[in-house]
Chains A and B, each alone.
Chain A
Protein backbone atom coordinates (compact mmCIF):
# COMPACT_ATOMS: atom_id res chain seq x y z
CA UNK A 1 0.00 0.00 0.00
CA UNK A 2 1.68 3.17 -1.18
CA UNK A 3 -0.79 5.60 0.36
CA UNK A 4 -1.64 7.00 -3.05
CA UNK A 5 -4.60 5.35 -4.76
CA UNK A 6 -5.51 5.71 -8.40
CA UNK A 7 -8.68 4.61 -10.16
CA UNK A 8 -9.36 3.08 -12.54
CA UNK A 9 -6.36 0.83 -12.98
CA UNK A 10 -7.12 0.24 -16.64
CA UNK A 11 -9.13 2.33 -19.08
CA UNK A 12 -9.96 1.89 -22.73
CA UNK A 13 -11.65 4.82 -24.40
CA UNK A 14 -12.57 5.99 -27.87
CA UNK A 15 -11.30 9.25 -29.26
CA UNK A 16 -14.69 10.90 -28.81
CA UNK A 17 -15.22 9.77 -25.21
CA UNK A 18 -14.89 11.78 -22.03
CA UNK A 19 -13.43 10.08 -18.99
CA UNK A 20 -11.74 11.03 -15.74
CA UNK A 21 -8.85 9.60 -13.78
CA UNK A 22 -8.92 9.86 -10.02
CA UNK A 23 -6.12 10.07 -7.51
CA UNK A 24 -6.48 10.07 -3.75
CA UNK A 25 -3.95 10.37 -0.93
CA UNK A 26 -4.42 10.42 2.81
CA UNK A 27 -0.80 11.02 3.69
CA UNK A 28 -1.39 14.63 4.63
CA UNK A 29 0.68 15.79 1.68
CA UNK A 30 0.27 19.25 0.27
CA UNK A 31 1.52 18.74 -3.26
CA UNK A 32 0.13 16.41 -5.94
CA UNK A 33 1.35 15.62 -9.42
CA UNK A 34 0.26 13.99 -12.66
CA UNK A 35 2.91 12.17 -14.70
CA UNK A 36 2.73 10.41 -18.04
CA UNK A 37 4.84 7.37 -18.76
CA UNK A 38 5.04 6.32 -22.37
CA UNK A 39 6.89 3.30 -23.64
CA UNK A 40 10.65 3.79 -23.71
CA UNK A 41 10.43 7.39 -22.51
CA UNK A 42 11.25 9.00 -19.18
CA UNK A 43 8.44 9.97 -16.87
CA UNK A 44 6.95 13.24 -18.10
CA UNK A 45 5.59 15.73 -15.62
CA UNK A 46 2.18 17.05 -16.67
CA UNK A 47 0.74 19.08 -13.80
CA UNK A 48 1.66 20.14 -10.29
CA UNK A 49 -0.73 21.28 -7.59
CA UNK A 50 0.41 22.84 -4.35
CA UNK A 51 -2.26 23.46 -1.71
CA UNK A 52 -4.92 22.92 -4.40
CA UNK A 53 -3.41 25.57 -6.63
CA UNK A 54 -1.95 24.63 -9.98
CA UNK A 55 1.66 25.69 -10.07
CA UNK A 56 2.88 23.92 -13.17
CA UNK A 57 1.40 23.07 -16.52
CA UNK A 58 4.14 21.47 -18.51
CA UNK A 59 2.84 22.40 -21.98
CA UNK A 60 0.13 19.78 -21.81
CA UNK A 61 -2.57 19.81 -24.52
CA UNK A 62 -5.95 21.15 -23.47
CA UNK A 63 -7.56 17.76 -24.03
CA UNK A 64 -6.09 16.97 -20.58
CA UNK A 65 -7.78 18.99 -17.86
CA UNK A 66 -6.73 18.63 -14.21
CA UNK A 67 -8.85 19.35 -11.18
CA UNK A 68 -7.83 19.49 -7.54
CA UNK A 69 -10.87 20.05 -5.32
CA UNK A 70 -8.88 19.55 -2.11
CA UNK A 71 -5.42 18.54 -0.98
CA UNK A 72 -6.34 14.85 -0.90
CA UNK A 73 -7.88 14.44 -4.34
CA UNK A 74 -6.68 15.04 -7.85
CA UNK A 75 -8.51 14.36 -11.09
CA UNK A 76 -7.44 14.28 -14.71
CA UNK A 77 -10.32 14.86 -17.10
CA UNK A 78 -9.82 13.45 -20.57
CA UNK A 79 -11.66 14.35 -23.76
CA UNK A 80 -11.09 13.85 -27.48
CA UNK A 81 -7.82 12.03 -26.88
CA UNK A 82 -5.54 10.70 -29.58
CA UNK A 83 -4.08 7.19 -29.87
CA UNK A 84 -0.65 8.60 -29.01
CA UNK A 85 -2.06 9.56 -25.60
CA UNK A 86 -2.12 5.88 -24.70
CA UNK A 87 0.24 5.53 -21.76
CA UNK A 88 0.51 4.89 -18.05
CA UNK A 89 -0.65 7.91 -16.07
CA UNK A 90 0.86 8.16 -12.64
CA UNK A 91 -0.24 10.33 -9.76
CA UNK A 92 2.18 11.28 -7.01
CA UNK A 93 2.14 13.34 -3.86
CA UNK A 94 4.77 14.87 -1.62
CA UNK A 95 4.72 16.61 1.72
CA UNK A 96 5.89 19.92 0.37
CA UNK A 97 6.53 21.57 -2.94
CA UNK A 98 9.89 23.25 -3.24
CA UNK A 99 11.83 21.50 -0.51
CA UNK A 100 12.91 18.41 -2.39
CA UNK A 101 10.68 16.14 -0.35
CA UNK A 102 10.17 12.58 -1.49
CA UNK A 103 7.28 11.79 -3.79
CA UNK A 104 5.04 8.78 -3.36
CA UNK A 105 3.43 7.33 -6.45
CA UNK A 106 0.14 5.59 -7.11
CA UNK A 107 -0.12 2.40 -9.10
CA UNK A 108 -1.08 4.24 -12.22
CA UNK A 109 -3.89 4.07 -14.74
CA UNK A 110 -3.05 2.28 -17.94
CA UNK A 111 -4.91 4.18 -20.63
CA UNK A 112 -5.55 2.89 -24.12
CA UNK A 113 -7.11 5.21 -26.69
CA UNK A 114 -8.72 3.42 -29.61
Chain B
Protein backbone atom coordinates (compact mmCIF):
# COMPACT_ATOMS: atom_id res chain seq x y z
CA UNK B 1 0.00 0.00 0.00
CA UNK B 2 0.84 3.67 -0.06
CA UNK B 3 3.24 5.09 2.51
CA UNK B 4 3.52 8.84 3.06
CA UNK B 5 6.38 10.33 5.02
CA UNK B 6 6.18 13.96 6.16
CA UNK B 7 8.95 16.19 7.50
CA UNK B 8 9.58 18.01 9.69
CA UNK B 9 7.25 17.09 12.53
CA UNK B 10 7.58 20.58 13.99
CA UNK B 11 8.61 23.82 12.33
CA UNK B 12 9.15 27.12 14.06
CA UNK B 13 9.59 30.32 12.03
CA UNK B 14 9.51 34.06 12.53
CA UNK B 15 6.66 36.07 11.09
CA UNK B 16 7.46 37.00 7.52
CA UNK B 17 9.75 34.06 6.90
CA UNK B 18 8.94 31.21 4.52
CA UNK B 19 8.01 27.73 5.63
CA UNK B 20 8.49 24.52 3.67
CA UNK B 21 7.00 21.14 4.51
CA UNK B 22 8.04 18.09 2.53
CA UNK B 23 6.33 14.77 1.87
CA UNK B 24 7.36 11.64 0.04
CA UNK B 25 5.13 8.86 -1.19
CA UNK B 26 5.78 5.32 -2.29
CA UNK B 27 2.98 4.38 -4.71
CA UNK B 28 3.70 5.59 -8.23
CA UNK B 29 -0.01 5.19 -8.97
CA UNK B 30 -0.86 8.11 -6.67
CA UNK B 31 -2.01 11.08 -8.69
CA UNK B 32 -3.77 13.43 -6.27
CA UNK B 33 -2.02 15.24 -3.44
CA UNK B 34 -4.04 17.45 -1.09
CA UNK B 35 -2.76 19.50 1.81
CA UNK B 36 -4.87 20.08 4.93
CA UNK B 37 -4.57 22.67 7.68
CA UNK B 38 -5.85 21.71 11.10
CA UNK B 39 -6.26 24.47 13.62
CA UNK B 40 -6.93 23.86 17.28
CA UNK B 41 -10.66 23.33 17.78
CA UNK B 42 -11.42 23.27 14.08
CA UNK B 43 -11.72 20.61 11.45
CA UNK B 44 -9.10 19.96 8.84
CA UNK B 45 -9.39 22.40 5.95
CA UNK B 46 -8.24 21.67 2.45
CA UNK B 47 -5.87 24.51 1.61
CA UNK B 48 -4.40 23.45 -1.71
CA UNK B 49 -4.10 20.36 -3.84
CA UNK B 50 -2.20 19.23 -6.90
CA UNK B 51 -2.64 16.49 -9.47
CA UNK B 52 0.13 14.58 -11.12
CA UNK B 53 -0.29 16.27 -14.47
CA UNK B 54 1.17 19.54 -13.14
CA UNK B 55 4.41 20.31 -11.35
CA UNK B 56 3.44 23.40 -9.39
CA UNK B 57 0.36 25.22 -8.20
CA UNK B 58 0.05 28.54 -6.41
CA UNK B 59 -2.68 30.24 -4.42
CA UNK B 60 -1.60 33.60 -2.99
CA UNK B 61 1.01 32.85 -0.30
CA UNK B 62 0.69 29.10 -0.63
CA UNK B 63 2.27 26.92 -3.27
CA UNK B 64 2.72 23.21 -3.77
CA UNK B 65 5.34 21.53 -5.95
CA UNK B 66 5.37 17.95 -7.16
CA UNK B 67 8.25 15.84 -8.41
CA UNK B 68 6.77 12.63 -9.76
CA UNK B 69 10.12 11.10 -10.60
CA UNK B 70 11.38 11.48 -7.08
CA UNK B 71 7.92 10.88 -5.58
CA UNK B 72 7.94 13.92 -3.39
CA UNK B 73 5.82 17.01 -3.02
CA UNK B 74 6.19 20.10 -0.88
CA UNK B 75 4.10 22.86 0.63
CA UNK B 76 5.55 26.36 0.56
CA UNK B 77 4.13 29.19 2.63
CA UNK B 78 5.64 32.62 2.05
CA UNK B 79 5.39 35.70 4.25
CA UNK B 80 4.12 33.62 7.14
CA UNK B 81 1.71 35.13 9.63
CA UNK B 82 0.82 34.06 13.19
CA UNK B 83 -2.55 32.81 11.93
CA UNK B 84 -0.70 30.30 9.76
CA UNK B 85 0.18 28.45 12.96
CA UNK B 86 -1.50 25.05 12.76
CA UNK B 87 -0.85 21.41 12.00
CA UNK B 88 -0.49 20.70 8.31
CA UNK B 89 -1.13 17.27 6.78
CA UNK B 90 -0.14 16.06 3.37
CA UNK B 91 -1.89 13.16 1.69
CA UNK B 92 -1.58 11.02 -1.41
CA UNK B 93 -4.38 9.31 -3.25
CA UNK B 94 -4.03 6.53 -5.84
CA UNK B 95 -5.70 6.60 -9.20
CA UNK B 96 -8.09 4.15 -10.75
CA UNK B 97 -9.96 3.32 -7.60
CA UNK B 98 -11.47 4.72 -4.46
CA UNK B 99 -10.46 8.06 -3.07
CA UNK B 100 -8.84 6.77 0.08
CA UNK B 101 -5.97 9.11 0.87
CA UNK B 102 -2.99 8.10 2.91
CA UNK B 103 -1.97 10.89 5.25
CA UNK B 104 1.39 11.97 6.54
CA UNK B 105 1.92 12.34 10.27
CA UNK B 106 1.49 16.09 10.23
CA UNK B 107 3.75 19.10 10.77
CA UNK B 108 3.12 21.49 13.61
CA UNK B 109 3.94 24.97 12.27
CA UNK B 110 4.49 27.75 14.77
CA UNK B 111 4.85 31.29 13.49
CA UNK B 112 6.29 33.65 16.07
CA UNK B 113 5.20 37.30 15.88
Contacts and interface: CB of A to CB of B under 8 A. Distances in A.
Interface of A: 2, 4, 6, 31, 40-43, 45, 48, 50, 55-56, 90, 92, 94, 96-108
Given A6-B43, A42-B103, A103-B46, 15 more contacts: A2-B42, A41-B105, A43-B89, A43-B103, A90-B44, A97-B99, A98-B98, A100-B32, A100-B51, A100-B95, A102-B46, A103-B99, A104-B46, A105-B45, A107-B43
Contacts of A43: 89, 91, 103
B98 A101 contact: no
A79 to B, nearest CB: 25
A45 B93 CA distance: 13
A45 B43 contact: no
B93 A100 contact: yes
Interface in B39-77: 41-46, 49, 51
A67 B105 CA distance: 28
Interface residues of B, number: 27
A113 B30 CA distance: 36
Given A103-B34, A105-B45, A98 B99 contact: yes
Contact of B43 (A2, A31, A55): A2
Given A40-B105, A42-B104, A98 B97 contact: yes
B36 interface: yes
Nearest to B100: A45
Contacts of B100: 45, 48, 56
A50 B93 CA distance: 17
A112 B4 CA distance: 28
Contact of A108 (B43, B51, B91, B93): B43
Given A102-B34, A107-B42, A94 B99 contact: yes
B31 interface: yes
11 contacts: A2-B42, A42-B106, A43-B89, A45-B101, A55-B98, A56-B100, A97-B98, A100-B99, A103-B99, A105-B45, A107-B42
